[in-house]
Structures are given as structure tokens and as C-alpha cells.
Amino acid sequence: MKLHYQTFGSGRPLVILHGLFGSADNWRGLAKNLAEYAYVITVDLRNHGRSPHSLEQSYELMAEDLRELLNELDLNAIDLIGHSVGGKVAMTFAQNYPELLHQLVVVDIAPRAYSDEHSKIFDALLALDLLSYSSRSEVDRALSVTLPNKAVRQFLLMNLALEDGLLNWRINLPTLSESYPKLLHSVCDNKIIDIPTCFIRGGGSTYVGDDDVDLIKTIFPDSELYTIERAGHWVHAEAPELFQSKIIEFFNYD
């Protein structure tokens, strides 16, 4: 699949993968800052952002999509950052294509299976008839009944586009909802991946706990775990300076 992407800067290539309901746009600020040190490529995963929609969604397919993008860009090897679902894509890519990877950063996700925390979001979004609304603010008010967290709604509404006077979702909600149980599965089962890896977690997040450390170390023996205490799951957005500083240190940017 030919993915949509954005590029910043020049030099050593660094690819950034967003999480579920996200897009390359979420990482534009960090990408612009890191462009001082690297050739940064922010990617829309399939069924997200401006990338094509498909009836299929899996970590294997998303890793293959990334490999195709590297071929398109004539890149032999990259550094890679992946957040949440994008982190599992990144780990799958490291497993399947280790020869294409120098170093890896996985943000607030472990390779284990997770419980369902987003079906209520899918249900709320799929229940909306967008033809009944003419603005984001109207959709926001409608969603506030089922999704009271304003920050979550604002994040989701970044996927809402107005085209020819009509609102539509850039994300492929039906396929993502149907595929969501597969996205909760573990990755890299019974594998050993020797790529230098940094797991960055938010101290206020429950996604990577102390009991995940043994599993991480088993699969990624050449890894470190770095905690940003005052951040939650969206570590890069909640503590951008500390996050960026760790990225610069880990990738040895001058």
C-alpha cells in the first residue's frame, strides 16, 4: 500500500509512526524540531490520516506497508519511533525486517496483549450520522454525551474533515473497529530482537508497568526503559521537551 507521509530536514532517516486514531499530523511539531538533526518522515498508517483505506488491518500488513515506503524512498535502513499501536507496528517491523533498522524507540506500549479500552470510542463515533452536523463544534457537543473527556474528543476530532461542505472521517472506522480485537494481541512472541531499543513510558500511564520489564528484556535484550514521570500515555505531547531530549540522546544526534 502506498502510504501518505510528510518529510522534514535532511540527513540520517528517522521514521515516526502514530497510534490508533492518530496521524502524521500529531507529530509535526516534534518532526520539525528533530529536522535539525535528521531526515524525519512522519507516516499515516493504513486506514488513518490521508493514507488509503483497506478492508484489512494487521501488524504484519502495516509493517509491510512501511517496508514498501522505504523502497519507494530508496532508504536502506532507518531509525524508527512508534507510539502505542504504532509501537507495535515498529516492533513487528523490527522482527520482520531487522536489516532495515538501526535503532528503535517504542513509546508507551509493551509487546504483550492488552484489554479492550477503545470499543466505547468506536461505538460512539460509529453511532454518529455526520450528515446531521455541519461543524466540528456540533459533533463535539454530540460526542460529549458518550465521551465526556474533552481532551479525548479533541484528539478524535482531528480526524474529521470538511470536504465540499460535508463532514467525513479520514479514518476508516468500520475496518478499524472490526480489526480492533487483533490490534490488542501481543507481538514478537517467542522472538529475540537484538536491535538497540529504548522503551519510553509515561509515569502516569498504565500501558507499560514494572511487570512488563522482564518480557521487554526477554524479547529486546539490548534495550532500556526510560520513564517520564509527569506524562501519561501521550508522552510526546504531554512532556515534549523531556521526550525530545531523550530522543536526541538515544539516537546520538549531535
Catalogue the active-site residues: 84, 233
Longest dimension (CA), the chain: 52
CA 59 to the chain's CA centroid: 12
What is the residue whose three cell numbers read 460529549?
144
Beta bridge partners of 71: none
Instruction: Report long-range pairs for 209-216 (Cβ below 8 Å, ≥24 apart).
Output: 212/110, 212/112, 215/110, 215/111, 215/112, 216/110, 216/111
CA distances to 7, 116, 131, 161, 244 from 29, in Å: 12, 30, 32, 21, 10
User: Length of the chain in residues, anyone?
Assistant: 254
Pairing of strands 39-43, 5-8: antiparallel
Can you read off the three cell numbers belonging to residue 47?
486506514
